[in-house]
Structure 1
Amino acid sequence: MATWSGIRHKLETEYLAISLRGHIQYFVTTYSKSPDHEGRAAIRYNGKEIIKGNYWNQYVKAHLFPKDDTYERRMHEGFPFIDNTALELGVFDQRCFYQAFDEFENQNIDKSLVSDNLIVRIFAVLDRRVGKRRLIAMRNLMEEQAPVFQEFYAIRVHHEGL
């Protein structure tokens, strides 16, 4: 796997839309003094963290998830997928970003835009390969999307002047 600095460089320079450069920052850290070397992750817009999560939230807030298939899937798969609830509660960490980036980088942009992993979809909507026509076409589908995805979509549309 690539280093975080390499992943961040790709996300912020190679993939990020030109209109968003300098506005969107990806943040990941691992706490080396933590016994398990756990950390946190965030996506910032103009210095404000839009989404943020850390490893410890997974255990502190796990009881807030309804005890259904989604909860069981998270517990048994080690939180490999991220949905709106996970982003709102901050129950993801740096490894979730690494997994999301790996999925994002190894599939085409069309698959990334419809991924089950919400972080992958966010990476995709901020991607330079999603042009103005596609952003306009996506407008009709925004009501079905998670609120946090809608927020990143709105940021992108604003900076594209649409």
Structure 2
Amino acid sequence: MSWSKLKQNLESFLSPALNGKVEYRATGYRYLPDKAGLCYIAVDKKNVLNMRDTTTQIRWYQAEQEIKNDSNIQIPINNEEIEAIRKETKGVVPEDRLQVMARSRKLSECAKEIFSAQSSLSKSNFIVVATKFLSTPIEESLESHDILLNILALVDRRVGKKRLLNMAEKMKLKHPIVQYFYELRVGTL
């Protein structure tokens, strides 16, 4: 599929409130076959997501430790996770330490997911992911660990207000760029 046709298809699925606000752009290098070109998403004419470009406003993590130490990432912990650690430690660990251990484990899992999703984005081909998005159900794109699929699904008109509001807790575990597009979409409701 050509870029112009793909762009037209993607923009036809944009939420009416984001139509004209969110744009998909691509540059190509016709005479440099080893350069794949750039694909990026612009919001209000500003490039918000350049594939793996460090000049964007969104923070790109370089190591898992950066994710673990980021105070903006909030991890909800439930009683089952605390109970699992209590069973592993045979009840000899104080209650407040159990919460710290549960949070640390969950943050470590979250860090690995964010880091792998971020690294796969830098290698991914925007056109391949966008084509996959157009051919898969919206639920799969929302649940995917692929950052780009999440973004395309969040700005999609098929995702309604109720579903968006129910996703608030899940969004806390996503990459900051996904959270940015979630806030952008929720702000238009």
TM score, norm. by length of structure 1: 0.72
Displacement of 1:84: 2.8
1:141 to 170, 173, 177: 170
**CA separation in 2, counterparts of 1:54 and 1:157?**
25
1:157 matches 2:156 = no
One-letter amino acid of the counterpart of residue 132, structure 1: K
One-letter amino acid of the counterpart of residue 29, structure 1: T
Displacement of 1:36: 2.6
* Corresponding position of 1:113: 142
**CA separation in 1, counterparts of 2:125 and 2:118?**
14
Deviations 1:105-148 (A, max 9, x none): 11100001012321011100100000000011011222111111
The answer to whether the 8 A contact 2:120-2:146 is kept is no
* Corresponding position of 2:8: 9
Unmatched tracts of structure 2, length 5 or more: 54-61, 65-115
Query: Structure 1 stretches (4+) deviating beyond 3 angstroms?
Result: none
In the TM superposition, 1:118-137 aligns within 5 A as 118-137=147-166
* Corresponding position of 2:109: none
**CA separation in 2, counterparts of 1:48 and 1:107?**
28
RMSD: 2.2
Q: How many residues align?
A: 130
* Corresponding position of 2:20: 22
One-letter amino acid of the counterpart of residue 19, structure 1: A
**CA separation in 2, counterparts of 1:4 and 1:65?**
33
* Corresponding position of 2:133: 104
- Which is greater in Rg? 2
The answer to whether the 8 A contact 1:115-1:121 is kept is yes
Unmatched tracts of structure 1, length 5 or more: 56-63, 67-81
